[in-house]
Amino acid sequence: MKTIIRTRDLVKSFTTEGGTQTIINHLDLDIYEKDFTVIMGSSGAGKSTLMYSLSGMDRPTSGSILFGGEEITKMSNDKLAVFRRKYCGFVFQQVYLLDRMSLMDNAMTAGLLVEKNKKVVAGRAKELFEKVNLPEVTYRKRVNQVSGGEAARAGIVRAAINRPEVVFADEPTGALNSDNSTAVLDVLTELNRDGQSIIMVTHDRKSALRGSRIIYLKDGKIYGELSLGSYQQDKVERGDKLDQFLREMGW
Amino acid sequence: MKRNFTLAKYLLRKNRSSIFSFSLILLISTLLFASALTVNNNVSKDYDALHEQLNTANAFFTVPAVQYTEDLVNALEELHSVEMAEGRRGVMLSVPVEMEGSQQEQTQIFFSLKNTGELNRFRVVEGFAENAGKGICIANYTYIHSSLEPGSSYAFDSNGNSYSFPVIGVLEDMQYGNYASSVIGQYLTEESFQKLLGQEPQNEVVVISVKADSGREAYCDVSKYLNEKGILVISKNYDENMKNQRLAISNILVLILLVFSAVILLISLLVSKFKIQQSIEEEMANMGVLKALGYTGNEIILGVILPYLISGLTVTCLGAALSYLLLPVLGNVIMMQSGFRWEPGADITADLTVILISLLLITVFTLLPAARIRKLNPINAIRGIRQSKAERNYFEMDKTAGSVGMLLTLKNFVNMKRQNILLGIVLFFMTAAASFVIILYYNINLNPMNFINTLVEEHPSIIVKSDEDMETELAKMEHVERVIYYDEQCSVSYRDDSYKTFVSESFEQLANDLCYEGRNPETDREVAVGSRIREAYDLQTGDTIVLSRNGREEEYEITGFIQSVNYSGEVLELTVDGYRRVEPDYTPGTLYLYLDDERLAGAVMEEIEETNETINSTMNYAESMESAMDLYVSLVGIICIVIIVITVLLIFLILSILISSIITRQKQELGIFKAVGYQNRQLVRHLVGGFIPGSLLAVIAGALVSKLTLGKVYGFIFQAVGAYKVNFVYPTGLLCLTALGLIVSTLVIGVALAERIRKISVYSLIRD
């Protein structure tokens, strides 16, 4: 499989009044194309920090990150912004839509950064809204006029609108009820089936089950790794395999 | 109360930068407001006090000594409006004085220090050796504007005689203390006075000073009496008129300061209102919690407005205190024009007025938005439920034409309504203020003729006095454009009062048309009348009036009305032939020369003096005018710089409040934009761009209103000093440039402040 992200000797540390705290500790990691990579670990293990470093949202303290063969740690802020708009899509736990705009405008705001043709972007947005089951009457509403589940699905539309190399999802179901969680995970799974590479950080076993590869972080290092293969709803042994892995990891 | 302070302390800490900006704006406002009020309350009062302390006459008349007798004073005291009259001998000369670095011809009356009566006493400003044998005590006005000082020598030539007097002191008197009466009073020791009188017996005059309840009434009664007795009045004036002329700059200064401070105060109040509205929105949940805990609405309101009241009280007190540093500067400016030495002292009434008015307005403006806290439902507030109707999503991106940048900018504009309104109000007033000073600068510093034409009478390049007709000869000289007979020293009587009369062969050729309504006289049967005479007798164009001189009466038709600041509108205009109807022997002897280049006035004047022996005197009027303008040029320059600096500072402060509040409020939104790939410069553009439509609208409105009203504003200001025809021009291009300058400043400041976005990492935006 083709490697799309490669980190070598990656370190991220924070200096606080109590001293220096290393969150990512000399980490080497390869992320493969079309994989649904799930990053797990206990609180403070460095899951989100790793994800935001990989996506160019945050800068590591040292080490290298090659994204599509390009070193992103040396990029200027402006270059990183261009990099993110082209290669990354983001789904956040708190959704983080621009709440003074409609759901459609949220998608267009991201889409028009890459594709200047408004019709093309609007067409792609409508296609994605259909895929996430949001009708026009809903995606024309402002963010504060829709439910949490609808907003979360709109967040996925925004993340996928530019056909990014990788969609980064940070606890995408963390703030949703069970039905909405399933709906969001279904959309992500479907995107992955269509060939979309996804990196998801989660605490949730049910969410992790959707992944094809589980990486478990502990003290800023890869503590364990599990290959689950592509998601099939009725396969019971996937769950057993994940449960056993998590037990081994001390979950 | 302690609980209120806890909330107030929290809000003060949280909003410290905007409270600092509010305080700074309020400080500027109260500083100017307190200064203006102190000047307003005290200058006039102190002037009157000094007037009284020096027992200054309420009206005074200069008559030739040969026409004066002691009986005249007794007779004047019999008039019902006169309480007391007194005559004082002096020598009246036209003296070349170096003022502000150039020669000016001034009419001066030299008195004896010994010959002081009960009226018109003086006070010593500097020096003054009472027992000095020879010497002169110069007027404070001369001291301020010339290089003369105690120890120097006052030397001049007059009527072929050379004089030199050691300056032994500086005196201030309220009668001839400045040039408002076109005469300056100087005081010689008895020995020097007798020497001067011995040389100039023909110029001996007597100043008849009159003490009265009403200076104006006594002025009219005495004028009438002297006219009836056929006594020539060389110059005359009365207290109220003198005061208005001497304090004209002070009054204009107070007006400008009051208006400007009121505008700045309004801006600071709007800032406090805006920030309180914003605090309530930001702290809605916390306020809900406080209510749930049992705080009453009023307690929370007090906590919210307390930071503004405390900083308001501190800053207004500080502003009032700091005004005492500004007052000596203003006092100096007032002294430069009035010659009256004003020493500012503490004015508790002005300070308290400023503090109370400011605090009252701050309370009202902060209570207005804070009142909604009372209606706040604690649960809704905690949940963040706002009782407002659903807002529309303007400029839908898939349906509206335009680039993403433009659409996001437009969305920002709509979302920042309140900020745009605040900035718009500030920019509107600042455009008006900047336009006001730029026009002032343009008409005084760049085109001084516009100002000169408004405030002074005719201004040739050179004045030549000769008993012979030299008009043709002088007109042939190189650089001389035209030569006109013009006489400002004539006088005629109307209704028992004698008036200065400007006589010319052709008013149309003069450089300054004094006519503000109708036209100048063209035939020997026409007259133009000064503004004050018009008001006094309710005259209209077309009316016929009877003028007289030496018992000879003639009828004239009024063709128009003229202004004269120096003579307070008490003047007339007649043609040479018109004047001859009442003075048949009149021969014009004063020629006004107009050069193609006024800088050559000195050289041309020298040539005239060298080649013509029949000349009585010459005067480089262009140079005199330039030096007289220096005071105004530097004063306007300072006012201009101060107002422009305050304007830019205010724009900076307002923008810093608005932009920092937007960045704080929209930190997460900006983070989202950055996360999806927007660059810093794009976000800066969208943010600042959101202010452009409102700013443009406000600045254009400000420039338009300025264009439409500045004429009236200047008309109002100059009318206060007796100028009815303001010769200022209001170039549209200049107003457009001012507006453009403000827009560019706003954008540059906006971009500089919005650059803060760059410093915040995208990850921290989301994490926070």
- Final residue of a domain: which of B212, B247, B282? B212
Do A84 and B391 make contact, defined as CB atoms within 8 angstroms? Answer: no
Distance from CA of B304 to the nearest CA of A (A): 27
Q: How far is CA B77 from the centre of its chain?
A: 39
> Where is average pLDDT lowest: A37-51, A188-202, B95-109, B494-508?
B95-109
Does the residue B392 lie in any domain? no
Domain range for B187 is 60-77+85-212
Is residue B699 very low, low, confident or very high in pLDDT (cuts 50, 70, 90)?
A: very high
Note down pLDDT in tens along chain A; length 251 residues: 799 999 999 999 988 777 888 999 999 999 999 999 999 999 888 898 999 999 998 889 999 999 988 999 999 988 999 999 999 999 988 888 998 899 999 999 999 999 989 999 999 999 999 989 899 999 999 998 899 899 999 999 999 999 999 999 999 998 888 888 998 999 999 999 999 999 999 989 999 999 999 999 998 999 999 998 888 766 778 889 999 999 999 88
Task: Count Cβ atoms within 10 A of the Cβ of residue B261 and give its class: 0-12 exposed, 13-18 middle, 19 or more buried.
Answer: buried
On chain B, the residues whose CB falls within 8 A of the CB of A108 are 397-398, 404
Does the residue A133 lie in any domain? yes
Does the residue A24 lie in any domain? no
* CATH number of the domain bearing residue A176: 3.40.50.300
Contact with chain B for residue A160, Cβ under 8 A:
no
Residues B162 and B302 in one domain: no
Q: Provide the residue count of chain B.
A: 768
Nearest CA in chain A to B385: A144
- Indicate which of B385, B387, B398, B410 best probes the interface with A, i.e. most A CBs within 10 Å of its own CB: B398
Torsional class of B352: left (φ above 0), alpha (ψ -120 to 50), beta (otherwise): alpha
Residues B205 and B310 in one domain: no
Does the residue B394 lie in any domain? no
Residues B334 and B474 in one domain: no
Contact with chain B for residue A77, Cβ under 8 A:
yes
Could you tell me which residue, B474 or A34, shows the higher pLDDT? A34
Question: At residue A168, what is the residue type?
Answer: F
Considering only the beta carbons, identify the residue of A84, A108, A158 that sits closest to B398: A108
Residues of B with CB under 8 A from a CB of A: 390-391, 393, 396-398, 403-404, 408, 411, 415, 668-669, 671-681, 758, 761-763, 766
pLDDT of B521 reads 96
Considering only the beta carbons, identify the residue of B393, B762, B766 that sits closest to A101: B393
- Average pLDDT score, chain B: 86
Residues B240 and B179 in one domain: no
B559, B445, B436, B579: which is closest to B508 by C-alpha? B559
Residue B765 has pLDDT above 70, yes or no: no
- Final residue of a domain: which of B212, B244, B267? B212
Considering only the beta carbons, identify the residue of A58, A81, A105 that sits closest to B396: A105
Considering only the beta carbons, identify the residue of B672, B676, B763 that sits closest to A58: B763
On chain A, the residues whose CB falls within 8 A of the CB of B763 are 52, 57-58
- Indicate which of B396, B415, B669, B676 best probes the interface with A, i.e. most A CBs within 10 Å of its own CB: B676
pTM score, whole prediction = 0.80
Nearest CA in chain B to A76: B679
- Tally of CB atoms within 10 A around B663: 18
Does the residue A145 lie in any domain? yes
DSSP B484: E
How far is residue B132's CA from residue B146's CA, in Å, rounded to a whole number?
A: 23
Number of domains in chain B: 4
Residue B230 has pLDDT above 70, yes or no: yes
Considering only the beta carbons, identify the residue of A57, A98, A158 that sits closest to B669: A98
Over residues B535-561, the mean pLDDT reads 93
Do A142 and B391 make contact, defined as CB atoms within 8 angstroms? Answer: yes
Considering only the beta carbons, identify the residue of B396, B668, B677 that sits closest to A113: B677
Does the residue B391 lie in any domain? no
> Where is average pLDDT lowest: B320-329, B368-377, B531-540?
B368-377
Considering only the beta carbons, identify the residue of A57, A78, A108 that sits closest to B675: A57
Strand partners, B139: B171
Does the residue B393 lie in any domain? no
How far is residue B32's CA from residue B38's CA, in Å, rounded to a whole number?
A: 10
- Indicate which of A118, A124, A158 best probes the interface with B, i.e. most B CBs within 10 Å of its own CB: A118
Does the residue B490 lie in any domain? yes
* φ, ψ (nearest 5 deg) of residue B688: -70, -35
Distance from CA of B413 to the nearest CA of A (A): 12
Unique residue bearing structure tokens 């080490």? A63
Do B668 and A102 make contact, defined as CB atoms within 8 angstroms? Answer: no
Does the residue A26 lie in any domain? no
pLDDT of B639 reads 82
How far is residue B625's CA from residue B104's CA, in Å, rounded to a whole number?
A: 8
Residues B242 and B356 in one domain: yes
Does the residue A27 lie in any domain? no
Contact B323, B345 (CB under 8 A): no
Contact B747, B754 (CB under 8 A): no
Distance from CA of B426 to the nearest CA of A (A): 27
Q: Is B408 helix (H, G, I), strand (E, B) or coil?
A: helix
Residues B478 and B353 in one domain: no
Q: How far is CA B153 from the centre of its chain?
A: 34
Is residue B129 very low, low, confident or very high in pLDDT (cuts 50, 70, 90)?
A: low
Residues B536 and B617 in one domain: yes
Task: Count Cβ atoms within 10 A of the Cβ of residue A79 and give its class: 0-12 exposed, 13-18 middle, 19 or more buried.
Answer: middle
Do B675 and A90 make contact, defined as CB atoms within 8 angstroms? Answer: yes
Distance from CA of B760 to the nearest CA of A (A): 11
CA distance readout (Å), B681 to A109, B419, B675, B694, B751: 16, 21, 14, 21, 9
* φ, ψ (nearest 5 deg) of residue B282: -70, -35
> Where is average pLDDT lowest: B191-205, B209-223, B615-629?
B615-629
On chain B, the residues whose CB falls within 8 A of the CB of A84 are 675-677
This complex has an ipTM of: 0.88
Contact B589, B467 (CB under 8 A): yes
Tell me: the pLDDT tens digits for A172-199? Answer: 998 888 888 998 999 999 999 999 999 9
Distance from CA of B368 to the nearest CA of A (A): 27
Considering only the beta carbons, identify the residue of B397, B668, B673 that sits closest to A112: B397
Distance from CA of A159 to the nearest CA of B (A): 8
On chain A, the residues whose CB falls within 8 A of the CB of B676 are 84-85, 90, 109-110, 113, 158
DSSP B588: -
pLDDT of B549 reads 87
Residues B310 and B413 in one domain: no
Do B678 and A113 make contact, defined as CB atoms within 8 angstroms? Answer: yes
Residues B338 and B437 in one domain: no
Do B404 and A142 make contact, defined as CB atoms within 8 angstroms? Answer: no
Do A96 and B762 make contact, defined as CB atoms within 8 angstroms? Answer: no
Is residue B407 very low, low, confident or very high in pLDDT (cuts 50, 70, 90)?
A: very high
How far is residue A212's CA from residue B507's CA, in Å, rounded to a whole number?
A: 102
Residue B454 has pLDDT above 90, yes or no: no
Number of domains in chain A: 1
Contact with chain B for residue A75, Cβ under 8 A:
no
Contact with chain B for residue A81, Cβ under 8 A:
yes
Residue B548 has pLDDT above 60, yes or no: yes
On chain A, the residues whose CB falls within 8 A of the CB of B672 are 96-98
Instruction: Please give the sequence-ordered ranges of beta strands (E in DSSP) within B178-218, or none if there are none.
Output: 184-188, 204-212
Tell me: the pLDDT tens digits for B591-620? Answer: 899 999 888 888 888 888 888 777 777 777
Does the residue B359 lie in any domain? yes
Residues B204 and B233 in one domain: no
Contact with chain B for residue A156, Cβ under 8 A:
no
Do B677 and A77 make contact, defined as CB atoms within 8 angstroms? Answer: no
Does the residue A22 lie in any domain? no
On chain B, the residues whose CB falls within 8 A of the CB of A82 are 677, 679
pLDDT of A238 reads 85
Do B408 and A122 make contact, defined as CB atoms within 8 angstroms? Answer: no
Does the residue A14 lie in any domain? no
How far is residue A125's CA from residue A119's CA, in Å, rounded to a whole number?
A: 10
Does the residue B390 lie in any domain? no
Considering only the beta carbons, identify the residue of B390, B397, B669 that sits closest to A145: B390
Over residues B558-587, the mean pLDDT reads 90
Is residue B768 very low, low, confident or very high in pLDDT (cuts 50, 70, 90)?
A: low
Distance from CA of A212 to the nearest CA of B (A): 26
How far is residue B723's CA from residue B718's CA, in Å, rounded to a whole number?
A: 5
Could you tell me which residue, B229 or B625, shows the higher pLDDT? B229
> Where is average pLDDT lowest: B240-249, B318-327, B366-375, B602-611?
B240-249
Domain range for A155 is 33-56+76-248
Does the residue A19 lie in any domain? no
Q: Is B749 helix (H, G, I), strand (E, B) or coil?
A: helix
Unique residue bearing structure tokens 């929105």? B281
Over residues B258-273, the mean pLDDT reads 89
Residues B470 and B448 in one domain: no
Contact with chain B for residue A92, Cβ under 8 A:
yes
- Final residue of a domain: which of B622, B642, B673? B622
Q: Directed axis angle between helix B239-246 and helix B215-228, to 10°?
A: 120
Nearest CA in chain A to B384: A144
On chain A, the residues whose CB falls within 8 A of the CB of B755 are none
pLDDT of A233 reads 64
